[in-house]
């Protein structure tokens, strides 16, 4: 028994006639983003927080001012003592 082909002699012939592909030109577009007002506000807060954390805890200018005042014997009087005492009591909740 023999089986004869049904159809063209070369069954792959129609697939060999492939035309060349052409390159498509791609235009690079500019990327852009939109930042919400809420994100901008949070970024400003984070920047301010970073500045506060990086600043020293001790204010040298204020310390120098207090030392200068303490050298003056007339500075420490009853009103200053009373003010310091009341602030200490407020701090401890007394």
Question: In a structure prediction context, what are the per-residue pLDDT tens digits for the chain, which is 94 residues long?
Answer: 676 666 656 666 666 666 777 777 777 778 889 999 999 999 999 999 999 888 877 888 888 998 888 888 787 788 888 898 999 999 898 8
Evaluate whether residue 73 is within a structural domain: yes
Evaluate whether residue 35 is within a structural domain: no
Can you tell me which residue has the tokens 């852009």?
32
**DSSP state string for 29-76:** PPP-----HHHHHHHHHHHHHHHHHHS-SS-HHHHHHHHHHHHSTTTS
The whole-number pLDDT of residue 79 equals: 85
Distance separating alpha carbons of residues 54 and 48, to the nearest angstrom: 10
Evaluate whether residue 13 is within a structural domain: no
Evaluate whether residue 78 is within a structural domain: yes
The whole-number pLDDT of residue 36 equals: 94
Say how many domains are in the chain.
Answer: 1
Evaluate whether residue 71 is within a structural domain: yes
The whole-number pLDDT of residue 14 equals: 65
Evaluate whether residue 38 is within a structural domain: no
């Amino acid at each position: 028994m023999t089986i004869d082909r049904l159809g063209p002699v070369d069954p792959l012939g129609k697939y060999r006639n492939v035309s060349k592909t052409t390159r498509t030109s791609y235009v690079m577009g500019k990327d852009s983003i939109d930042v919400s007002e809420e994100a901008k506000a949070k970024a400003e807060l984070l920047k301010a927080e970073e500045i506060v954390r990086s600043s020293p805890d001790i204010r040298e200018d204020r310390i120098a001012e207090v030392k200068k005042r303490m050298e003056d014997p007339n500075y420490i009087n009853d009103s200053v003592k009373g003010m310091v005492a009341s602030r200490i009591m407020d701090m401890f909740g007394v």
